[in-house]
Every structure is written in C-alpha cells, then in structure tokens.
Structure 1
Amino acid sequence: MKQIKIPAAFIRGGTSNAIVFHERDLPEDRAAWDAVFLAAMGSPDPNGRQLNGMGGGISSLSKVCVVGPPSHDDADIDYTFAQISVRDAQVDYSANCGNMSSAMGPFAVDESLVEARGDAALVRIHNTNTGKIIHAKFALDDGQADRGATWAVGLVLNRCEGTGRGCRADCV
C-alpha cells in the first residue's frame, strides 16, 4: 500500500483521545475518508491492539475528528466525529463524543481557525453528526487555549489525572 502524508494532531479530550484532521487536508470524496481513518488508527485489528496505527485498542482511544469551515451562520466551525471500530473495518458517524467535542474549540483557536482575544473564548461548533450547535468555553493564555502545565497530549479536562485547564461544552 502506498503511504500518503496527511497533517493531523493527536489530542486528548477528557478521557478520550482522537486524531484530528483539517477537512481541507482530506480527500474531497468523503467516501474515501473511511480508508484514511481506519489506516490511521490501525484498524481493523483482529487482536484488538491497533499496533499499526495510533488507536489504543479500546473505543475511547479509537476516535477521529474532522474540523472545517462552518456550514451554518450560528457556528464558527464544523466538526465531524468518527468512531473507529478496533477489530472491524467500520467507521461510525452516527453519534458524537462529548469529551472530544470540548476539545474542538481550543483546537480551532490554536490552529487560527477562530480568532480569540482576552482571557476566555467561546467557540460555536456545529456537530455535523447530530446537527447540534455546541458552545465551547475555555480560558486563553496569550491568544491560545490555556492548558496549564499540560502540553504533551493536547487539551484535557478537569478531574482527569494529570490534567490542565478545563473546557465547558454546552449543547444549545
């Protein structure tokens, strides 16, 4: 199989991890996304370990997020969530992940998709899976999401061991 390079980020949101892609970097044909996501995660893996990818062998560590320009006037970004099966070649777009939803606002600010000033930000996120708008509210430090002392794994939420600053995500 030919290898291709696609820029991505590996981000923690609460008790979950996900590979986050910019929509602009993925194939225009969304039918081709599944193969990209499965390969990135190392699925399917009949042994359930996902050693050939970045998945962690359990559902909370086998997620993909895609962020793109908003398709709704009341949103700053569009966000698509994909749950990747560990053992099977299946990608599920029918649900959402609250933990990863809360990480998309800070990602959008840090990637300069949304301009933020002051000491706090509000990013309006259109979840394409559910059609819902999510408001992510979080602290800023010099125009970037304030992660406290935690940088190694990206955004984290309060009350998780080894965390930084929190992010409140409200479905409106």
Structure 2
Amino acid sequence: MTCAPQLRIPATYMRGGTSKGVFFRLEDLPAEAQTPGAARDALLMRVIGSPDPYGKHTDGMGGATSSTSKCVIIAPASKPDHDVDYLY
C-alpha cells in the first residue's frame, strides 16, 4: 500500500466545552485547498479522521462524534465592514 506524503500545515487546536476544533489560516493551506472544492474537502476531512472505517468519526482529539469536531479557516476580511472571514 502506498500513502501520500504528509503535509505540515500550521494549525491551532482549541477546545471549548465538549467541542474541539482545528483552526487554520487560509494562507497556510496548500494552494489547491485555499479555494472551495474537492481538495479542500479532502484535506479537512482527513484532519479530523473522516471517513472512519468504524463509523465513529474518531478524530484523534478525543472525540467520537461529528458534532464535537470542527474545522475552521480564518482569513482577512473580504468585506470592508467585517474584521475576518470565518469558514466553519
């Protein structure tokens, strides 16, 4: 079996209550994942361990349900009256 090489992407892991999230700056993502589409979807799903062959959505951060695991992308605001763009 061959595996794709691992990527090193700066991120911050945060926990609040029962939820956990992986936060990325848009500019730190690989170029193909900086725009919506299959590459971004695949990257974010892999980060949280989906699809899980056991159907538990185990994400490596201590969660076993999809509702407690989030991926977030933040970037400078694209609208003049906003502070940041936040993709959840």
Q: Which of the numbers 28, 32, 41 marks the counterpart of 1:25? A: 28
Higher relative contact order (CA 8 A, sep 6+): 2
Q: Is 1:42 aligned to residue 45 of structure 2?
A: no
Q: Secondary structure at the match of 1:35?
A: helix
Superposition deviation, residue 14 in structure 1: 4.0
1:55 CA drift (Å): 6.6
**Matches for 1:115-134 after TM superposition, within 5 Å:** none
Deviation at 1:70, TM superposition (A): 0.3
Counterpart residue type for residue 66 of structure 1: I
TM-score when scaled to structure 1? 0.42
- 1:106-161 CA distances to partner (integer Å, 9 max, x unpaired)? xxxxxxxxxxxxxxxxxxxxxxxxxxxxxxxxxxxxxxxxxxxxxxxxxxxxxxxx
Q: Is the radius of gyration larger for structure 1 or structure 2?
A: 1
RMSD: 1.9
Give the Cα–Cα distance (whole angstroms) in 1 for the partners of residues 27 and 46 of structure 2.
19
Matched residue count? 80
The corresponding residue for 1:7 is: 10
| Distance of 1:76 and 1:69 partners within structure 2 | 7
